[in-house]
Amino acid sequence: MFSTVPRSLLCCTNAIGPNRALAYVLSKCPALEPTSVLCREYHEVTGNIICPNVVRGIDHLRDPRLNKGLAFTLEERQALGIHGLLAAKFKTQEEQLDICRISIDRYEDNLNKYLYLVELQDRNEKLFFRLLAENIEKYLPIVYTPTVGLACQRFGLIYRRPRGLFITINDKGHIFNILKNWPEPDVRAIVFTDGERILGLGDLGAYGMGIPVGKLSLYTALAGIKPHQCLPITLDVGTDNQDLLEDPLYIGLRQRRVRGKEYDEFIDEFMEACVQRYGQNTLLQFEDFALPNAGRLLKKYRNKYCTFNDDIQGTASVAVAGLMAAVRVTKRKLSENIYLFLGAGSAANGIANLTVSAMVAEGLSERQARERVYMFDVDGLLSTRREGGVPEHAKVFGKDIEPEKDFEACVAKIKPSCLIGCSTVGGAFTTNVLKQMAKNTERPVIFALSNPTSKAECTAQDAYDHTEGRCIFASGSPFPPVNFNGKEFRPGQGNNSYIFPGVALGVIATATHHISENMFLTAARTLANYVSEDDLSIGRIYPSLAEVKEVSVAIAIEVAKTAYDEGLVSIYPTPTDLSQHMRSYLYNFCYECQLPDMFPWPECSKVSYKNAKGRHFPCHI
């Protein structure tokens, strides 16, 4: 029997179509082993040539995973039955990339650029990923924050072709069957959301699908994880966004969110179905769940599944990396800072907890480290004396101090050296707040991490302007370079996209079955080590985005080492060369020859194929 049937083993025939022909051959020869035998047998039966692993004819061009457009060679065009379906000109992938760049530049509106890229991904996957991977700085803001936020808000309008799975609460009891409808059997990573906290834009329900799709594009573009191993999913349990419930374009369930027991059972079933379908080691990334569920579900599942919450753990890692790199400028150890968070939700708590771990590594006790961390949420400073007390999810950061509802006053009173915004409140770092930070310390650290750009707590320009150019700034969404007193600053992007692709690569490539907290501290250290003096001199506490692919591999290697040290992997023996092992996993962004290499008639000319017995088969030209 076939033990390793290729993913899309189809045969070519002009007579009855590839699927039916293959089914026919298989039914006749169920015990066939090597594919080449199948080819020969099939040829004996039908007189047609089978191209294993190859969809022929127009279907080949319509498959984005196979399509190369005008880059198909004459031999490929002939062998694949697409000769004549393409214009005569042959183009290299490089020439095609130029055309893509020109095409995108024609659009002024970023949403149109986004749509162009979506369409490219649907048409020619390798071209899309190579374009993205080679132009990260230019196109990351389109496929990711900020434009992806706009795309989610308009998802009902721009939704065209299926990408990923929508699983609704009505599918409860049948989730495994829905997963079976996904055409790829070799999924290694699933990024999923229930759409309740999409960036800082709130509850976007099923419109949130843009986020798992965008995140998984970065799995491939930034870490070389193969696209067919990635599955984006939206869990549609309704929405409490009244505008969407009334939006005629809305594509999700038009009902209020299901919560409580039924929601929990639904998520339980989903988690179980994923591992049942794709195996124990399937990486399950929670993305953009709202505060009441994010931390709670992480706690519930973190020791039972190969899972992490990107908004809590990935964000923590990138922020701590930034803090570590900033030490080289401020000359203050992490344990010498005072931290004030605006926002006390998932991201803030994730960052605060990992910062505490980093301070403990510097020698503080956990209690001493926590004493250096303050938080301020919608009801003011997290004071144990305030009305209603400190919310459960941030209990450990509550302080026995006078309550304070005025943020500016709080910054003056607590005198933080690091101010970290994860509040979803655009402009919350006012001129006075920033000026106060400049008074608090010589080199204040200011992170405006909320996304998209409209939700950033301050702009890069404001941060430098109001701190006399002395601050160390990073933001979740990109800002253009800033000029202050004749000096140009190019602040970095404190975004979890520096972390999750590398962590995922490390986990997938070693079949790690559990993702430990330590891995995120390791990832943070690795990222911080990549920051050069040149980066710091232009105000950047992250490596340039052009280096992110290399950084992702480095993170993957370090994460894998941690996983081996902690006994969390399923691949033994430990590869002697982890770097080589990791690199062997990477996606090839360049076109590959699609002449069937398992073809039993390897000798190929422009006019005919010669089989092993020396018989010629004419090409259809």
Q: What residues are designated binding site for (S)-malate?
A: 197, 451, 495
Q: Which of 43, 68, 77, 197 binds ligand NDP (CB under 6 A)?
A: 197
194: contact with Mg ion by CB under 5 A: no
CA nearest neighbour of 273 among 235, 311, 243: 235
- In the complex with Mg ion, which residue's Cβ is closer, 9 or 199? 199
x/- track of binding to Mg ion for residues 291-320 (CB under 5 A):
--------------------x---------
- In the complex with ligand NDP, which residue's Cβ is closer, 413 or 610? 413
Sites for ligand NDP among residues 431-470 (CB under 6 A): 449-451, 455
> Least Å distance between CB 449 and ligand CC(=O)C(=O)O?
8
Q: Is 323 exposed, middle or buried (CB count within 10 Å of its CB: 0-12, 13-18, 19+)? A: buried
Q: Are strands 482-484 and 418-421 parallel, antiparallel or unpaired?
A: unpaired
**Strands annotated E in 15-54:** none
Residue with the shortest CB distance to ligand NDP: 345
The CA distances from residue 81 to 14, 37, 124, 455, 591, in Å, are 9, 22, 18, 52, 18
- Is 610 strand, coil or helix? strand
Sign of the four-CA dihedral 439, 445, 449, 452: positive
* Residue 546: DSSP 8-state: G
- In the complex with Mg ion, which residue's Cβ is closer, 133 or 198? 198
The CA distances from residue 298 to 42, 143, 228, 272, 311, in Å, are 52, 27, 26, 15, 11
> How many of the chain's residues bind Mg ion (CB under 5 A)?
2
* Residue 588: DSSP 8-state: -
419: contact with ligand NDP by CB under 6 A: no
- In the complex with ligand NDP, which residue's Cβ is closer, 222 or 342? 342
CA nearest neighbour of 193 among 155, 147, 223: 155
> Least Å distance between CB 380 and ligand NDP?
8
The CA distances from residue 227 to 130, 175, 586, in Å, are 12, 22, 11
Active-site residue among 42, 139, 144, 207? 144
Residue with tokens 């209020």: 256
Count helices and strands in the chain by DSSP H and E runs: 26, 17
Cα gap 364→14, rounded to integer Å: 73
494: contact with ligand NDP by CB under 6 A: yes
DSSP character string of 180-194: HTSS-S---EEEEE-
> Least Å distance between CB 148 and ligand CC(=O)C(=O)O?
9
- In the complex with ligand NDP, which residue's Cβ is closer, 35 or 285? 285
Contact indicator for 194, 207 with CB cutoff of 8 Å: no
Q: Which of 208, 232, 476, 478 binds ligand NDP (CB under 6 A)?
A: 476
CA nearest neighbour of 229 among 269, 186, 292: 186
- In the complex with ligand NDP, which residue's Cβ is closer, 48 or 307? 307
Contact indicator for 264, 301 with CB cutoff of 8 Å: no
> Least Å distance between CB 401 and ligand NDP?
17
Contact indicator for 350, 316 with CB cutoff of 8 Å: yes
The CA distances from residue 451 to 61, 311, 466, in Å, are 38, 12, 22
**Stretch near Mg ion under the rule CB under 5 A, chosen from 175-183, 223-231, 250-258, 288-296:** 288-296
Partner from ligand CC(=O)C(=O)O, Mg ion, ligand NDP, none binding residue 291, C-beta < 5-8 Å depending on class: ligand NDP
> Least Å distance between CB 370 and ligand NDP?
17
Q: Which of 48, 307, 346, 441 binds ligand NDP (CB under 6 A)?
A: 346
Q: Which of 345, 398, 416, 478 binds ligand NDP (CB under 6 A)?
A: 345
**What number of residues does the chain have?**
621
Cα gap 196→157, rounded to integer Å: 20
Q: Which of 377, 457, 465, 535 binds ligand NDP (CB under 6 A)?
A: 377
Query: What one-letter code names the amino acid at 413?
Result: K
Cα gap 362→365, rounded to integer Å: 9
- Is 57 strand, coil or helix? coil
Q: 113 catalytic, yes or no?
A: no
* Residue 442: DSSP 8-state: S
DSSP character string of 477-499: S----EEETTEEE--EE--GGGT
x/- track of binding to Mg ion for residues 568-597 (CB under 5 A):
------------------------------
309: contact with ligand NDP by CB under 6 A: no
- In the complex with ligand NDP, which residue's Cβ is closer, 52 or 421? 421
- In the complex with ligand NDP, which residue's Cβ is closer, 346 or 522? 346
> Least Å distance between CB 189 and ligand NDP?
18
Q: Which of 52, 200, 444, 492 binds ligand NDP (CB under 6 A)?
A: 200
**Stretch near ligand NDP under the rule CB under 6 A, chosen from 126-134, 177-185, 493-501, 558-566:** 493-501
Q: Which residues sit in the known binding site?
A: 197, 287-288, 311, 451, 495
User: C-alpha 57: how far from its chain's center?
Assistant: 33
> Least Å distance between CB 375 and ligand NDP?
8
423: contact with ligand NDP by CB under 6 A: yes
Q: Which residues sit in the known binding site for a divalent metal cation?
A: 287-288, 311
288: contact with Mg ion by CB under 5 A: yes
- In the complex with ligand NDP, which residue's Cβ is closer, 42 or 374? 374
- In the complex with Mg ion, which residue's Cβ is closer, 71 or 352? 352
> Least Å distance between CB 450 and ligand NDP?
3
Contact indicator for 317, 499 with CB cutoff of 8 Å: yes
203: contact with Mg ion by CB under 5 A: no
Cα gap 514→306, rounded to integer Å: 5
344: contact with ligand NDP by CB under 6 A: yes
Contact indicator for 508, 227 with CB cutoff of 8 Å: no
> Least Å distance between CB 574 and Mg ion?
33
The contact set with ligand CC(=O)C(=O)O (CB under 6 A) reads 145, 199, 288, 310-311, 451, 476, 495-496
> How many other CB atoms sit within 10 Å of the CB of residue 513?
17
465: contact with Mg ion by CB under 5 A: no
Active-site residue among 113, 215, 226, 549? 215
Q: 138 catalytic, yes or no?
A: no
Tokens standing for residue 116: 């162009």
> Least Å distance between CB 287 and Mg ion?
5
Cα gap 422→404, rounded to integer Å: 18
Q: Which residues are identified as catalytic?
A: 144, 215
Residues that bind ligand NDP (CB under 6 A): 197, 199-200, 290-291, 311, 315, 318, 342-348, 376-379, 422-425, 449-451, 455, 476, 494-496
Residues that bind Mg ion (CB under 5 A): 288, 311
